[in-house]
Amino acid sequence: MTPTDPRLLVHAYLDGELDPAHALEIERQLADDPALAAERERVEALRRAIAEQLPREGAPPGLARRIEAAVGLQGAPAPARSSSRPSWRALAASVAVAAFLGSGATWLTLSPAPPDADMIVANHVRALMATQPVDVGSSDRHTVKPWFNGRIPEAPRVVDLAGAGFPLVGGRIDVVGRTPVATLVYRLRQHLISLSEVPGRTIATPERQIAGYNIVSWTDDGVAYWAVSDVAAADLDAFAKAFRAAEPER
């Protein structure tokens, strides 16, 4: 179905849901039709009023604890929550990006690509939920590194950090933007660390935490590195330091 009533479409236009062709058409009509322009102003005023007057409130403090207790989680490490309430939506947005398949609404545009950090975290979350967090499982870097040959243009830097307390679990291919990238998985005790290596990419905004996951990012030799995990920030920093200090074995 293609809705044509401009008073309906103006809402989708203001919500950023129209494809460019329909957006242009609405802009043309807004310029020609004072009544439609007034409607746009009213809708904008309403959206602004709601955003300013009705801020989102968090869940009541006791609720999370009761629910954790109800499912037997009390006392267990809860990886994705803790102190990060404001950034939950960032993760939701990133996880949502891959979600939308075939709705048949041709007048809708696609959501813009999320920042790299969001996609890196989304990849990590996805990996944690998969049957296995790696495509190639091995603690031997001489097995993991060659596995990437032929799958991505540049084999990743793989180092052995078992001595530093971060044994290698394996590797997998993630997608950042539309680019397949190498991700190594290391372990600290029972926690997994995803390390994505993105050649030729700059780190626009060095996020430290998204949706409760800690993030460390750096650039070496033109490769952007992103480490994501639910381990404590200090542990992740130690991991990054150990990785960067390990002798190159290219």
Partner 1 sequence: MGSLNSEDDQARFASVVLPHLADAYALARWLTGDRADAEDVVQEACLRAFRGIGGFAGVNARAWLLTIVRHAAYTWLGKNRSASLVMVDDLEAVEQQQASGGGAFEQGPQTPEAALIAKADARRLEAAIAELPVPFRETLVLRDVQGLDYREIAEVTKVPIGTVMSRLARARRRLIERIGTDEPRGAA
Figure out which of the listed residues 32, 34, 76, 178 binds partner 1, where binding follows CB under 8 A. Answer: 76
Strand partners of residue 188: 191
Contacts of 6 by beta carbon, 8 Å cutoff, 6+ apart: 26, 29, 33, 36
Segment lying near partner 1 (by CB under 8 A), choices 83-91, 148-156, 199-207, 240-248: 83-91
Our CB check for partner 1 shows the closer of 7 and 28 to be 7
Figure out which of the listed residues 20, 70, 234, 248 binds partner 1, where binding follows CB under 8 A. Answer: 70
Closest C-alpha among 77, 93, 82, 115 to residue 213: 82
Encoded amino acid at 94, one letter:
S
Q: DSSP string spanning 176-205?
A: ETTEEEEEEEEEETTEEEEEEEEET---SS
Is 216 in contact with 202 (CB distance < 8 Å)?
Answer: no
Q: DSSP string spanning 41-106?
A: HHHHHHHHHHHHHSPPPPPPHHHHHHHHHHTT-TTS--TT-SS-GGGHHHHHHHHHHTT------T
Figure out which of the listed residues 31, 92, 162, 245 binds partner 1, where binding follows CB under 8 A. Answer: 92
Gap between the Cα atoms of 243 and 193, Å rounded:
12
Figure out which of the listed residues 20, 72, 163, 248 binds partner 1, where binding follows CB under 8 A. Answer: 72
Q: Is residue 189 a contact point for partner 1 (CB under 8 A)?
A: no
Figure out which of the listed residues 21, 24, 45, 245 binds partner 1, where binding follows CB under 8 A. Answer: 45
Question: Is the backbone of residue 158 left (phi > 0), alpha (psi -120 to 50) or beta?
Answer: beta
Segment lying near partner 1 (by CB under 8 A), choices 62-70, 150-158, 181-189, 240-248: 62-70
Site string (207-226) toward partner 1, x via CB under 8 A: ----xx--------------
Report the nearest approach of partner 1 to the CB of residue 172 (Å).
13
Segment lying near partner 1 (by CB under 8 A), choices 76-84, 199-207, 219-227, 234-242: 76-84
Segment lying near partner 1 (by CB under 8 A), choices 127-135, 139-147, 150-158, 233-241: 127-135
Gap between the Cα atoms of 208 and 217, Å rounded:
8
Q: Give the Å distances, CA to CA, from 152 to 148, 179, 244.
A: 6, 9, 22
Secondary structure class of 175 (helix, strand, coil): strand
Our CB check for partner 1 shows the closer of 233 and 245 to be 233
Our CB check for partner 1 shows the closer of 41 and 140 to be 41
Binding positions for partner 1, rule: CB under 8 A:
1, 3, 5, 7-8, 11-12, 15, 17, 38-39, 41-51, 53-54, 56-60, 63-64, 66-68, 70-73, 76, 78-81, 85, 88-89, 91-92, 95-96, 98-100, 103, 105, 108, 111, 125-126, 128-133, 137, 211-212
